[in-house]
Amino acid sequence: CPIGKVMLGKVGSSRRHATGEFRTGELPPSLSRVRDERTLDGTLRSGRVLDFTTTIRTDLKLLLIGDSVMVQLAQSFEEIVGGVEMGSRRVIWNAWRGHDGGTAVAPTRGGGVSASWRMTGLLSESGRGKRPANDPGGGWSDKDIDALKTYAYPIVDDGHHGIGKGNSTIGNFDVIVFRVMHGWMKAIEITHERLVEAVRLSHELLGATTVVLMTVPFTNNVKTDQDMVLVKGINDDIREIARNWHSIKGNSGVQRVLVLEYGTYYSHITWSNARHLGYMNVSHPLRATREVFDAEGPTFLQDRLQDGFEWSPSIPMVCSDMASLDAQRKMCNRNHLFMDGMHVCPERVASRFAAGLACLIGCAFNGRGEMNDNTGPRNNVQRQQGLQWEVEETKVRLCERECNEQFMSVMPVEESWIDTNTTLASFSK
């Protein structure tokens, strides 16, 4: 998000103009560094909230699929895994001039791959052959998949510059991450069947054994209280699919579905900013349950800028202060959290996203071998494997919860993690 005058219109266009608003780049104190902040369980936490950067090492092959918001996050993630440091980021194809369609950082720091694929709908057979992004409908083609899987890159020692070990192609991915594209897709189109199909196709088309589904946040696409109810239903379904995937999956090669609580992350940031702006009866997000967010959201999130646009943003989401809000409530100075009512300011928001994603993937991969499966006919050995799977599943879900609570929130990050240059790692073995 550029600091200074807020501009409207495409860069280079003669119609581009200043809106009269300003972005300072400052964070509310509650989103910078905090001391002795009380959490839901009563413990006191101190540390940094959004005022830190993230470094990640991985030897896994990751693919992030989604719309322009996911492209933002993927670009930041690619830098965090070493794309700039190693000079290994490439645009495989453009969606249109100057806009990423498919990208890859190969190798990452650690020797893995981080790729992205712009798409306007959940991966579905119904999208095969349709016009691709940025057209609606989630169109994709086999040539896109071929371009990703056959992308060639040099293998180097431990993912660092050094003695080369030849070349490799990406081939199959280990993990697919979906940003569920609410906005491009109507809420009623994001059905249980579409979500399950996207998960299944992640293995059938791209070879992935683990899928991460991001919950849907409040944005300017959530225009009514009824939309909030529908989004809540989508997120409940995402969590249900993840918890019950073992009984849903049948013969799918996807072994694990994880949930990244991206919607909760937006809520934590927006609630914090709302309190900073002086909105009353807004709970501190660290002391709020999901039910509290659902109850309080309709009481203030629909307070929108009256800017005359179809997708007017929520004031508590995008404004930096109330003093700059004009009498007609058409404009305000903007914060350094959200570019508009949907896109983020990745300089501030992406580090927690990346840390949460790395932590979550580590739940499924770090320190484990091949996951036992127990979907077939059971004998005594298989029953023992089934019990082992259930124990592992319990551990993974606990880990998933801890990752989301720490990073998809405004939970302070301890200074000791930052001062010691802690590196988050996700490894295949």
State the pairing for strand pair 44-48/33-38: antiparallel
**Which positions ≥6 away from 23 have C-beta within 8 Å?**
1, 2, 3, 4, 5, 6, 320, 333, 334, 335, 336
For residues 25-45, give the mean pLDDT: 94
Backbone angles phi, psi at 322, to 5 degrees: -90, -20
Q: What percent of the chain is modeled with pLDDT above 90?
A: 80
Q: What is the pLDDT of residues 259-303, one digit of tens each?
A: 999 999 999 999 999 999 999 999 999 999 999 999 999 999 999
Asked whether the predicted pLDDT for residue 381 surpasses 60, the reply is no
For residues 323-340, give the mean pLDDT: 95
pTM: 0.92
For residues 7-16, give the mean pLDDT: 79
Q: Which pLDDT score, from 0 to 100, does residue 428 have?
A: 54
Q: What is the CA radius of gyration of the chain?
A: 22
**Which positions ≥6 away from 284 have C-beta within 8 Å?**
37, 271, 272, 275
Q: Which residues of 297-316 are buried (b: 16+ CB within 10 A; e: fewer)?
A: beebbbebbebeeeebbbbb
For residues 131-147, give the mean pLDDT: 96
Cα 375 from Cα 249, distance rounded (Å):
9
Q: What is the pLDDT of residues 73-93, one digit of tens each?
A: 999 999 999 999 999 999 999
**pLDDT confidence tier of residue 161, bands split at 50, 70 and 90:** very low
Cα 92 from Cα 104, distance rounded (Å):
7
Q: Which pLDDT score, from 0 to 100, does residue 392 have?
A: 85
Asked whether the predicted pLDDT for residue 429 surpasses 80, the reply is no
Residue indicated by tokens 């918001």? 69
- For residue 356, what are its two tokens? 């949460």
Asked whether the predicted pLDDT for residue 383 surpasses 80, the reply is no
**pLDDT confidence tier of residue 142, bands split at 50, 70 and 90:** very high
Asked whether the predicted pLDDT for residue 413 surpasses 80, the reply is yes
- For residue 153, what are its two tokens? 């890159």
**Any idea how long the chain is?**
429
For residues 326-352, give the mean pLDDT: 95
Q: Which pLDDT score, from 0 to 100, does residue 409 have?
A: 98
